[in-house]
Structure 1
């Protein structure tokens, strides 16, 4: 599907769920939506993601792709309901009643799903044994780790009726999965990140965009030659224009587009660092924090070191670890995500919750060297083009 240029608008990230492991009354399981122009891509689909979408400004019908970081339940249990919502899913009809969903038009553009080994088996088995039919096709691409089999899918079930056979098993080359998706506007690359199970960090990169144009620089030549002002559009794209008197005008050079790095659960995302360098937005987990005199649940025996050791033992990070990584890759903005259920997500209305989340942000900021934002459910962060 041809994508329209997005450089004229912002890229937005809406956090649909910001909890780790157990949801709470103020945080849903992990999921976020990336808006690229008019299209929406989901990253992880924890339980009740479909409900969160309905509460948000995200449109179910705009979802084109879903990227799964890892197959822990708090990141994937909501995937099948979201697919059913996107693809006109249903449980079939009574005997003797025709259902058009039994004959899917596989020539339609599919909804694409990317994830580690096991994603395809999870989907295929879940759909088979819930008797779910779809009205539109889908395809599953798996990012294979070096220890994974080349072809085996962890299931002997045949393709679902709506599943295209063109799903790729994408090998890891030189430590990364480069350009798992790429079109004329945007690309997605990925790398393994360290967790308790195979886990992926994704980097979404916008292609080069038009440079900043100074109209005053070109107007005298354009007016002297009585050229149409439409030549400014050509110059804005970085192209050259030859005027009637032979003067050649050269548009400004194109500049780098935006880069968004979305990490799954991790205690060490180092493998993704080369891909994520100078990212405009880093979304990094901060599951556990030591907050003496702020968090009433703080244990007297805990220290910053013991909390970090416990987080690492479970495959997770502290705010300080997130801040250090953001500084290491030169991230322009850092948003913390994936919080323990003990950390409330109502800090925009509850002063005591704000104290806790501000303390978490400050721990990361002390290492990062800049302001840090803590995500909460249904929050949207815009990623605009730099002014220079």
Structure 2
């Protein structure tokens, strides 16, 4: 796929995740509906957009004007009800009917379809956005485009709605067909790629894998400087070596830059009771974000039923398409994740554990359940939590 714009540099300066909403089904006073922001250098990509996401953005350090892409894991309301309001704000929407001749935003100008805000989601995402904008008479100053990830049982063509394309909707939306059960490289540029796979839930649901391209290895300049000085080679050649290139000097000496090292991998799962289909893509993730909707916490959570067991809670949770902390930990261990972040908690688990002792006790117990299965680092997400994903640690070239 051709990127919407060339990258500003040949490496990502930073990769950061900010959780905008960590609740499941219903929001609470301490958790908003699902959404998180992935910051890649200066750009922001949203994953899910539950109700009031734009309010959460206003309260966070995320800049709405930097949002370039929105990825929807599935079309349950707690993951998508905030999308239309955000589009109207982000793309300068206006309510009310305006005559075509009076409003330049309504002109069919091919140039305006360049650099649209991109939306990726399963079948129905395009119809939801198109119908919502049409029946609210919303006009947008800037374009958007919807790419749909079509499951094997979905129709490969069509928009799944009788309404014509919205005036601000780019005609370049793709219907992306599975290849060997997954959607490889639904977006790719020289710095990063996004692939996706189905994950099992009560309705079609998708997990996304964001993979940074290999990055320059660590380099010891003292290894190269003597040869560059001896042959009077410009020191600017060091930049080529840093990128892993090989350089032949005037005396025939060939210098080899350090081998590139793997880039960072982030796996973001939607609602699921079994994410097995994404296992291959998710292998060796630096960060895995996995839902943990319900937990059995006898003696800790006052809502625990007397006749419940770990097995009965897991069975009930799975029947509703969701996971327990143990299930998340088991999957994280299975794919070799380096760090696990639990997300999408029942409203009964308060998200103010950084200031409330009772909430801290509950979330620590949930964390421990996942750690028993995973064995690695586990974090329980809360609204506005921000995490940096560091480059992989590898020894310097010698």
**TM-score, structure 2 length as denominator?**
0.95
Which residue of the other structure, out of 50, 54, 62, is the alignment partner of 2:54?
50
User: Deviations 1:94-136 (Å, cap 9, x if unpaired)?
Assistant: 7799333333752431111110000011001100110000001
| Corresponding residue for residue 218 of structure 1 | 224
Corresponding position: 1:248 with 2:254: yes
| Corresponding residue for residue 171 of structure 1 | 177
| Corresponding residue for residue 65 of structure 1 | 69
- Matched-pair contact (CA < 8 Å) for 2:10–2:190: no
CA distance in 2, matches of 1:62, 1:178: 25
Which residue of the other structure, out of 331, 339, 356, is the alignment partner of 2:337?
331
- Matched-pair contact (CA < 8 Å) for 1:177–1:190: yes
CA distance in 1, matches of 2:347, 2:213: 38
Which residue of the other structure, out of 21, 26, 34, is the alignment partner of 2:30?
26
CA distance in 1, matches of 2:186, 2:101: 41
User: CA offset at residue 33 of structure 1?
Assistant: 0.6
SS of match in other structure, 2:11? coil
Could you list the runs of 5+ residues in structure 2 that have no partner in the other structure? none
SS of match in other structure, 2:48? strand
Alpha carbons of 1:165 and 1:237: their partners in 2 closer, same or farther (altered >3 Å)?
Answer: same
CA distance in 2, matches of 1:104, 1:135: 13
Which residue of the other structure, out of 201, 205, 208, is the alignment partner of 2:207?
201
User: Deviations 1:186-214 (Å, cap 9, x if unpaired)?
Assistant: 11110000000000000011111111112
| Corresponding residue for residue 162 of structure 1 | 168
Which residue of the other structure, out of 372, 381, 385, is the alignment partner of 2:387?
381
Corresponding position: 1:38 with 2:42: yes
| Corresponding residue for residue 180 of structure 1 | 186
CA distance in 2, matches of 1:108, 1:164: 9
- Matched-pair contact (CA < 8 Å) for 1:104–1:135: no
Backbone CA RMSD of aligned residues: 1.5
SS of match in other structure, 2:225? helix
SS of match in other structure, 1:283? strand
| Corresponding residue for residue 79 of structure 2 | 75
Alignment of 1:228-267 (within 5 A): 228-267=234-273
CA distance in 1, matches of 2:98, 2:261: 58
Number of aligned positions between the proteins: 388
CA distance in 2, matches of 1:318, 1:7: 37
User: CA offset at residue 86 of structure 1?
Assistant: 1.3
| Corresponding residue for residue 105 of structure 2 | 101
CA distance in 2, matches of 1:300, 1:153: 49
Alpha carbons of 1:17 and 1:96: their partners in 2 closer, same or farther (altered >3 Å)?
Answer: closer
CA distance in 2, matches of 1:362, 1:7: 36
User: CA offset at residue 7 of structure 1?
Assistant: 3.2
Alignment of 1:303-382 (within 5 A): 303-382=309-388
User: CA offset at residue 293 of structure 1?
Assistant: 1.3
User: CA offset at residue 175 of structure 1?
Assistant: 0.5
- Matched-pair contact (CA < 8 Å) for 1:6–1:36: no
User: CA offset at residue 222 of structure 1?
Assistant: 2.0
- Matched-pair contact (CA < 8 Å) for 1:104–1:134: no
**TM-score, structure 1 length as denominator?**
0.97
Alignment of 1:123-134 (within 5 A): 123-134=129-140
- Matched-pair contact (CA < 8 Å) for 1:137–1:163: yes
Which residue of the other structure, out of 289, 298, 320, is the alignment partner of 1:283?
289
CA distance in 2, matches of 1:323, 1:104: 51
